[in-house]
Amino acid sequence: MEVIIKDNYEEVSQLAAEYLINTVKSKNNAVLGLPTGSTPMGMYRIVIETYKDNNISFKDVTTFNLDEYVGLDKNHESSYSYYMDKNFFSHIDIKKENTYIPNGVAKDMEEECNLYENLIRERGPIDILFLGIGPNGHIGFNEPNDFFEPHTHLVKLTEDTILANSRFFDNMESVPKKAITMGMKSILSAKKIVMLATGEAKSDAILKSIKGKVTPQVPGSILQLHNNVTFILDKDAAKYL
């Protein structure tokens, strides 16, 4: 495991963007695993700027997002599908049909989870997967649990996560209570994993993920089992290391 500590959010975003761009430069049909949330916003912005200034193309790239809220369709402004279009996909030359995000309004959720899992298997392996982490240690929406869920599955979000996510909604009532997320086996099957974390609120989860025991109570701790993982942290997220 490699741990890189940067001075601030901008430097974390810059380095993360370099990982993404270098992956696409060295493999034009790379498969990327992508997160949403506040943390990767800077990375997407820098990748878009680099794309505009340089000769890189995403036309053969495939992406798999980690998760999606249940109950929000792709046009809902708080859906992760909408987020990805707005913050990344609509600014680059990626083909929409190569961008996969679980369907949060599928009629049969179990079937949707199986479909997504099979797609990752068929189109994968993911060359590089970017992750954020919740203050409770969740990765994707794998919340603290008694066991590690291996495959894409439906999850009930914890109160902590619902509260943390409420900043993107008008009120608490409209925050979805469930999500579809990649499971741990899907996450660990990526060839390379890059975890991004900034801010003091993540410092405890980062300490436990890097130095604690591997336990489903701290989902991020499973990354200790992967042989090619890089944590890119700012000083605040790294403060207990």
Among all residues, which ones are annotated catalytic? 67, 136, 138, 143
Q: Which is nearer to ligand F6R, 57 or 168 (CB)?
A: 168
Give how far Cα 216 sits from Cα of 31, 122, 178, 227, Å.
27, 27, 19, 19
Residue nearest to ligand F6R (CB): 132
Backbone angles phi, psi at 24, to 5 degrees: -70, -35
Distance CA 114, CA 224 (A): 26
CA neighbor of 11 nearest in space, from 36, 43, 34: 43
**Contact with ligand F6R (CB under 6 A) among 66, 70, 175, 218:** 66
- Of residues 104 through 133, those in contact with ligand F6R by CB under 6 A are 132-133
**Residue the block writes with tokens 């995403």:** 58
Which residues have C-beta within 8 Å of that of residue 46, sequence separation ≥ 6?
13, 14, 17
Q: Which is nearer to ligand F6R, 29 or 63 (CB)?
A: 63
**Residue 139 binds ligand F6R, judged by CB under 6 A:** yes
**Residue 67 binds ligand F6R, judged by CB under 6 A:** yes
CA neighbor of 206 nearest in space, from 224, 192, 189: 224
User: What's the full length of the chain, in residues?
Assistant: 241
- Of residues 205 through 234, those in contact with ligand F6R by CB under 6 A are none
Distance CA 129, CA 146 (A): 24
Part of the chain binding ligand F6R (CB under 6 A), chosen from 106-114, 116-124, 136-144, 170-178: 136-144
Distance CA 238, CA 236 (A): 5
Minimal distance in Å, beta carbon 139 to ligand F6R?
6
Q: Which is nearer to ligand F6R, 24 or 33 (CB)?
A: 33
- Of residues 16 through 35, those in contact with ligand F6R by CB under 6 A are 35
**Residue 42 binds ligand F6R, judged by CB under 6 A:** no
**Residue 183 binds ligand F6R, judged by CB under 6 A:** no
Which residues form the interface with ligand F6R (CB under 6 A)?
35-39, 66-67, 132-134, 138-140
